[in-house]
Chains A and B, each alone.
Chain A
């Protein structure tokens, strides 16, 4: 049975006050909080078991190596990847996308080829592809976003050409909350001979994901947006592709044999993990996955859905409030603007009331232009948020809107 109050007990920070007010944390799309057990697990490894992984023969090194690889198995299971060879630890979703943009680009992208992104991507799923296109003389194309915040799926078939090598698409929009029909994008791309990278940074913490069901070629996510530590993430890659891709970074761990004449590379997944990994962060990610699994992603999704419905209902009663993104297939990310109120002003005043929300471009400048605004307010909800917190946001907004509007 999902009990939000019991879950809140796991997150000590939720009892904190800011500016003398109880913290209402609604900026989970930027980063979630961590349950104590994740921090405790990491601290335990730092204080009692720390030793570098994969190279030591001594007791502690073996212990950490085992823990690191157990976390990989947990991550594999969490996204239903076929094999741990397909689970590469990165510094985060951004790190994973950059790895693919380089290595896939080296192996498969030639002058005149095309990369297709969508109009709702986060900067980190745009810029690495632009850099790749610049390097290779390839062309970046953009799948448009409809007024309701969904992808223009009709345009997809026209945009996929024989030159399209890769399609990069967000599983869930970090601004609009739209849950994209990625399976349909993947099928269409594969039919056209293109590979697909799915940015799952805003998805894995909200809904179950299954690599076997999705059939994508690459999938990336960050630990810190799913109750794990900062600085760690996962890149899932299809084995046949990873085998054909050159390493991104060189260093220790990623080699088999080093000679000045010729170095041979390690097997998957280590080929793509140069240098000492953040193994304690990885162990923390494993713990976060365990934690999420113990709650059950279906339960998380159900609670967040009810919370989101309540939020959209309450907020829609605020005069002059305009939601951006109205797809019925949406996560608990809610973005809006208020007539006559700058998002930054609203966020500054809400902060005084203890309410943490995001204001600005949300790292998606092209989408802001598409929506015809310079900035938005975003409330992004997590499994530990409550109906009362939504009401606090509603009441807070009424108060700050009154303060800001009466002067104009």
Chain B
């Protein structure tokens, strides 16, 4: 299992081949599509993240001390962003997630292009993932 830092490094490398933002978005769309649909039973109001212009669902489960995430959104770019977060955080220990200080968002330019994140839910998603981790870390 790769660490959070290793996952981030991979993502940064993948995005580094694109100069043009339309290409970066095309890649996010690809990632969003590849993530597939979330199981309908997890698309509950409880799993809906507040404060996004699109609907974003995030579901967490714990197996043998690690957290596993599923995410979905009705907006495909948002789903692509969710896919990145799932990839970075899924399978990690709650403590690692709580303490994680993400570099990749800045490094691939998501901060400047997708902030203020109220619209796409990036910040809300990270916050929600961390809440889950805090809850399971107890």
Contact = CB atoms under 8 A, between A and B. Distances in A.
Contacts of A404: 29, 76
Contacts of A348: 25, 77, 119-120
B33 A349 contact: no
A359 interface: yes
Given A19-B21, A352-B25, A374-B55, A344 B33 contact: no
Given A344-B119, A360-B53, A407 B74 contact: no
Interface string B34-60: 000000000000000000011100000
A375 B54 contact: yes
A353 B119 CA distance: 18
Contact of B74 (A353, A359, A360, A374): A374
Contacts of B26: 403
B76 A345 contact: yes
Contacts of A352: 21-22, 25
Contacts, number: 48
B21 A407 contact: no
Contacts of A15: none
A353, A403, A408 — which one has the most chain B CB atoms within 10 A of its CB? Answer: A403
Contact of A349 (B22, B30, B54, B119): B22
Contacts of B25: 348-349, 352, 403
Nearest to B77: A345
A403 B119 contact: no
B90 interface: no
Interface string A386-408: 00000000000000000110011
A349 B21 CA distance: 9
B78 interface: yes
Given A344-B119, A344-B120, A404-B76, A375 B53 contact: yes
A308 to B, nearest CB: 26
B33 to A, nearest CB: 4
B75 interface: yes
A138 B21 CA distance: 53
Contacts of B77: 344-345, 348-349
Given A403-B29, A408-B33, A342 B54 contact: yes
A373 to B, nearest CB: 11
A408 B34 CA distance: 10
B22 A342 contact: no
Contacts of B21: 19, 352
Nearest to A407: B33
B75 A342 contact: yes
A353 B25 CA distance: 12
A342 B56 CA distance: 12
B29 A344 contact: no
A48 to B, nearest CB: 36
B26 to A, nearest CB: 6
Contacts of A403: 22, 25-26, 29
Contacts of A374: 55, 74
Contact of A344 (B22, B32, B75): B75
A344 B76 CA distance: 9
Contacts of B54: 342, 344, 375
A399 B53 CA distance: 22
A378 to B, nearest CB: 13
Interface in A344-381: 344-345, 348-349, 352-353, 359-360, 374-375
A375 to B, nearest CB: 7
Contacts of A407: 29-30, 32-33, 76
B83 to A, nearest CB: 13
Contacts of A345: 29, 75-78
A360 B74 CA distance: 13
A359 B75 CA distance: 12
B112 to A, nearest CB: 11
Contacts of A359: 53
B73 to A, nearest CB: 8
B32 to A, nearest CB: 8
30 contacts: A19-B21, A342-B54, A342-B74, A342-B75, A342-B78, A344-B54, A344-B77, A344-B78, A344-B120, A345-B29, A345-B75, A345-B76, A348-B25, A348-B77, A348-B120, A349-B77, A352-B21, A352-B25, A353-B22, A359-B53, A374-B74, A375-B53, A403-B22, A403-B29, A404-B76, A407-B29, A407-B30, A407-B32, A407-B76, A408-B76
Given A344-B53, A345-B29, A352-B21, 4 more contacts: A344-B75, A345-B75, A345-B76, A404-B76
Interface of A: 19, 342, 344-345, 348-349, 352-353, 359-360, 374-375, 403-404, 407-408
